[in-house]
Chains A and B, each alone.
Chain A
Amino acid sequence: MRIFLLRLTAKMLPALPTLCAIAGALLMFVVFLALQGKPALEACQLIYVGAFGSGFAWENTLQRAAPLMLTALCVAIPARTGLIIIGGEGAVALGGLACAVIPMMLPAAFPATPALLLMATAALVAGGAWIALAGWLRQYRGVNETISSLLLAYIALALFNHMVEGPLRHPESLNKPSTPPLPEEYLIGSLPGLDVHWGLFWGVLACIAMYVLVRHGVFGFSMSVVGGNVRAARLVGLPVNRIVLMACLLGGGAAGLAGMMEVAAIHGSANSALLAGYGYSGILVAFAARHNPLAIIACALVIGGIESSGSLLQRRLDLPGATTLVLQGLLFINLLAWESLTGWLGVWRLRLLETTRNPNRAVHA
């Protein structure tokens, strides 16, 4: 039993910086509120109630977490190959736009299932290609991918706004410029028995699929090699450029899919309300999850929960709308600070495994 616990601890060690960061952020948040003379503990209690305290709160949280899972993958997958991509917002915009454009090109009364497949493919390709562009610039032109992906996102947003307010604008969308509404039968509904749309299902599925790929696939392993040491990867003959581009394509595709889900399940057409910062929140989720696709699911729930609790904090305690942003900011700072533990983790893990091995030997002897 003790050995099992030690092994489990060793396995869970990578979660330590994130757990410390969450605890640290909460502590700083409490101090911050107390200094302002606000009821800090009550606020923490309300965050829990607003995020996970009832069936309605859970639906709220799950709904907000769904797009974050997909946009977090846009950061986490390229990060496996050593790239820091922060331009997921651009992929969300273009994915949403691509999804809204497809129905305009289809003949009337085109069946829904193939239409949705086409819309999803278009969103995947649009988002993927945009992030792959940042990867290409890095591999072939030596441009820093963090900067280029952010700048490319600004271009994507400008392109999105131009298309939605110009050539693709529906003449009836007077004061809220939008693309023509999607036909009723192409809209994505709710999961059975839940007031949460299907984006949650695809988000979780994408995270699991990426986990399998990253942890148990040959391609996933080669991504880690590229991310760990590019020269070693080249030395063993891995096609580094192709692997990096593929990782960007997968990540960007996930963010594009998030855009599609928002358009087809919530807005019903592409308009600037889609640009709500999901791409940027995804960065926070991916870093909190330390780029582990399975941990992304949990971290997206935490961030989604914080966001959905903001409503209750405002109405019960008269706290300003920025309160949840402060908490998210503290969380991000803490994540970066506690990241310094990473260097020690390997040593602790070895020590833990050492203690599990010694008693084993004693038994066998």
Chain B
Amino acid sequence: MSNFNRRKFLITTGAIALTSTLSFELAHAAGKKLIVGFLYVGPRDDFGYNQAHAHAASIIKKMPGIKMFDEEKVPETVAVQKSMEAMIRQDGASLIFPTSFGYFSPHVIKVAKKYPKVRFAHCGGLWTKGKHPMNVGSFFGYIEECQYLNGVVAGYMSKSKKLGFVAAKAIPQVLLNINAFTLGAQSVDPSITTRLIFTGDWSMPVKEAEAANSLIDQGVDVLTCHVDGPKVVVETAEKRGVMTCGYHVSQAKLAPKGYLTGAEWNWVTPYTTIVKAAQEGKPMINFLRGGLKDGFVKMSPYGASVSANAKAKADEIKNKMLAGKYPIFKGPLKDNKGKVIIPAGVIQEQTDIKLESMNYLVAGVMGQV
């Protein structure tokens, strides 16, 4: 209980009184460090989306010349506007990473217009020239490449030829992952199907468990998901003796037996690029995308149960992707209602911005948008 002595109390209150009024000046006087703020929508340790960001942020924190502040569980309301402003005004932050998609419009746009000298690097948004301020940028990764590789491994390992996908919402980013996963599996065996359940929101633990159980009851033997925290799905599958492919970060610890591999973010790469640009005084990077070959995404190490030929095939495709020679979406491609989406001979490159407005499910996915 050493915290209760009066001297310490006076010191801290005095320090707080000082920092609350002078923080801006102090921050700038303190050796020209770049002050960076990170905001996450969920908890830092969710075994998912937010953990991927928080982990990368902790690496940025150790970079020379950096002072880092972060906040978790910041809702996509006026709260995020105020937290960003507080980082700017109380900590002197000049680079902010608002990492949830829902922060972009209107919150980031509004605060960015108010503080034109501060840089805002938003994750997932689609920054458009002329429409959005120049001190804002958006970055994202082609995680569907990893989802495709997940599908390849799942395709080799599945005996029932039925795969399961628990998804949050029918939005382009999610549909892209479901389709890539399914196409990867079908590259192994075209008869493979993916059963799909939407839970309706990003963090719905009870519904995620119900969906996982229901899929397993339908005979699914490899399960994956796109929700904020894959913990519940992976643990449920492990308990029922079913294999899983992970998402966001590695969930191998949660499923030592059934974890095959996983699609992981490697946010350190875009973070570092953006931080360096700010440190060197270069203009804000307004649009930044990258996949496997750029180091924006990576695969979890293979689980012990993955067969040798599954590994060999997945590695072969991965090497092609690393060489930039493996587009996932190419004709002929039909959706699950029989409509031709991409005619034969047409290739949609990974960098095609049209992929970011996907609104269909490929043939073989049992579910609807």
Partner-B contacts on A (CB < 8 A): 34, 39-42, 45-46, 49, 53-54, 56, 60, 63-64, 161, 165, 174-177, 262, 266-268, 271-274, 276-277, 307-308, 311-312, 314-316, 320-322
Q: Specify which of B70, B90, B104, B169 lies most central, judged by the most chain A CB atoms within 10 Å of its CB.
A: B90
Q: Do residues B16 and A174 form an inter-chain contact, with CB atoms below 8 A?
A: no
Partner-A contacts on B (CB < 8 A): 1, 3-4, 9, 12-13, 16-17, 19-21, 43, 69-79, 82-83, 85-87, 89-91, 101-102, 104-106, 124, 126, 169-173, 200-201, 356-357
Q: Do residues B200 and A177 form an inter-chain contact, with CB atoms below 8 A?
A: no
Q: Do residues B3 and A41 form an inter-chain contact, with CB atoms below 8 A?
A: yes
Q: Do residues A41 and B12 form an inter-chain contact, with CB atoms below 8 A?
A: yes
Given A175-B124, A321-B43, the answer on whether A64 and B72 have CB atoms closer than 8 Å is no
13 more A-B residue pairs beyond the given contacts A49-B17, A64-B78, with a C-beta to C-beta distance below 8 A? A42-B12, A45-B12, A46-B16, A56-B86, A63-B82, A161-B200, A161-B201, A175-B101, A266-B78, A273-B76, A311-B74, A321-B72, A322-B73
Least CB distance, B119 to chain A, in whole angstroms: 19
> Contact partner of A273 among B17, B43, B77, CB < 8 A?
B77
**What 7 A-B pairs come out closest when comparing CB atoms?**
A321-B73, A273-B76, A321-B72, A315-B69, A42-B12, A175-B171, A311-B83
Least CB distance, B41 to chain A, in whole angstroms: 10
Name the residue of chain B whose CB is nearest to the CB of A274: B77
The residues of A that contact B12 with a CB separation of less than 8 Å are: 39, 41-42, 45
Bound-complex Cα distance A266 to B81 (A)? 10
> Contact partner of B79 among A49, A56, A307, A315, CB < 8 A?
A307
Q: Do residues A314 and B78 form an inter-chain contact, with CB atoms below 8 A?
A: no
Q: Do residues A174 and B3 form an inter-chain contact, with CB atoms below 8 A?
A: no
Bound-complex Cα distance A311 to B173 (A)? 30
Bound-complex Cα distance A272 to B77 (A)? 10
The residues of B that contact A49 with a CB separation of less than 8 Å are: 16-17, 20
Q: Do residues B356 and A268 form an inter-chain contact, with CB atoms below 8 A?
A: no
Q: Do residues A54 and B21 form an inter-chain contact, with CB atoms below 8 A?
A: yes
Given A34-B1, A45-B13, A174-B356, the answer on whether A276 and B75 have CB atoms closer than 8 Å is yes
> Contact partner of A175 among B69, B76, B172, CB < 8 A?
B172
The SS class assigned to the B binding surface is helix
Given A60-B86, A314-B72, the answer on whether A53 and B172 have CB atoms closer than 8 Å is no
Name the residue of chain A whose CB is nearest to the CB of B80: A273
Q: Do residues B78 and A34 form an inter-chain contact, with CB atoms below 8 A?
A: no
Q: Do residues B78 and A63 form an inter-chain contact, with CB atoms below 8 A?
A: yes
A and B contact pairs by CB, cutoff 8 A, 6 listed:
A64-B79, A174-B171, A307-B79, A316-B19, A321-B73, A322-B43
Bound-complex Cα distance A51 to B243 (A)? 48
Bound-complex Cα distance A266 to B357 (A)? 26
Q: Do residues B71 and A314 form an inter-chain contact, with CB atoms below 8 A?
A: yes
The residues of B that contact A312 with a CB separation of less than 8 Å are: 86, 90
Q: Do residues A175 and B173 form an inter-chain contact, with CB atoms below 8 A?
A: yes
Q: Specify which of A53, A277, A311 lies most central, judged by the most chain B CB atoms within 10 Å of its CB.
A: A311
Bound-complex Cα distance A316 to B75 (A)? 20
Q: Do residues B75 and A273 form an inter-chain contact, with CB atoms below 8 A?
A: yes
Name the residue of chain A whose CB is nearest to the CB of B39: A311
Name the residue of chain B whose CB is nearest to the CB of A35: B1
Q: Do residues A311 and B4 form an inter-chain contact, with CB atoms below 8 A?
A: no
The residues of B that contact A161 with a CB separation of less than 8 Å are: 200-201
The residues of A that contact B76 with a CB separation of less than 8 Å are: 273, 276
Name the residue of chain B whose CB is nearest to the CB of A267: B106
Given A41-B3, A314-B70, the answer on whether A174 and B172 have CB atoms closer than 8 Å is yes
Name the residue of chain B whose CB is nearest to the CB of A272: B201
Bound-complex Cα distance A56 to B4 (A)? 29
The residues of A that contact B169 with a CB separation of less than 8 Å are: 165, 177
Bound-complex Cα distance A321 to B74 (A)? 8
Q: Do residues A174 and B357 form an inter-chain contact, with CB atoms below 8 A?
A: yes
Name the residue of chain B whose CB is nearest to the CB of A278: B77
Bound-complex Cα distance A320 to B43 (A)? 8
Q: Do residues A266 and B201 form an inter-chain contact, with CB atoms below 8 A?
A: no
Name the residue of chain A whose CB is nearest to the CB of B86: A311
Given A60-B86, A64-B79, the answer on whether A268 and B106 have CB atoms closer than 8 Å is yes
Name the residue of chain B whose CB is nearest to the CB of A323: B73
Least CB distance, B68 to chain A, in whole angstroms: 10
Bound-complex Cα distance A308 to B200 (A)? 29
Q: Do residues A311 and B82 form an inter-chain contact, with CB atoms below 8 A?
A: yes
Bound-complex Cα distance A271 to B101 (A)? 13
Bound-complex Cα distance A316 to B21 (A)? 15
Least CB distance, A264 to chain B, in whole angstroms: 12
Bound-complex Cα distance A322 to B44 (A)? 11
Q: Do residues A40 and B171 form an inter-chain contact, with CB atoms below 8 A?
A: no
Name the residue of chain A whose CB is nearest to the CB of B105: A176
> Contact partner of A308 among B1, B43, B82, B171, CB < 8 A?
B82
Least CB distance, B4 to chain A, in whole angstroms: 7
Bound-complex Cα distance A315 to B83 (A)? 10
Name the residue of chain A whose CB is nearest to the CB of B93: A315
Q: Do residues B72 and A320 form an inter-chain contact, with CB atoms below 8 A?
A: yes
Name the residue of chain A whose CB is nearest to the CB of B114: A195
> Contact partner of A165 among B17, B83, B170, B173, CB < 8 A?
B170
Q: Do residues A315 and B91 form an inter-chain contact, with CB atoms below 8 A?
A: yes
Least CB distance, B79 to chain A, in whole angstroms: 7
The residues of B that contact A63 with a CB separation of less than 8 Å are: 78, 82
The residues of A that contact B74 with a CB separation of less than 8 Å are: 311, 321
The residues of A that contact B357 with a CB separation of less than 8 Å are: 174
> Contact partner of B9 among A41, A266, A276, A277, CB < 8 A?
A41
The residues of A that contact B13 with a CB separation of less than 8 Å are: 45
Least CB distance, B126 to chain A, in whole angstroms: 7
The residues of A that contact B201 with a CB separation of less than 8 Å are: 161, 272
The residues of A that contact B90 with a CB separation of less than 8 Å are: 56, 312, 315
Bound-complex Cα distance A198 to B208 (A)? 39
Name the residue of chain B whose CB is nearest to the CB of A178: B105
Q: Do residues A56 and B101 form an inter-chain contact, with CB atoms below 8 A?
A: no
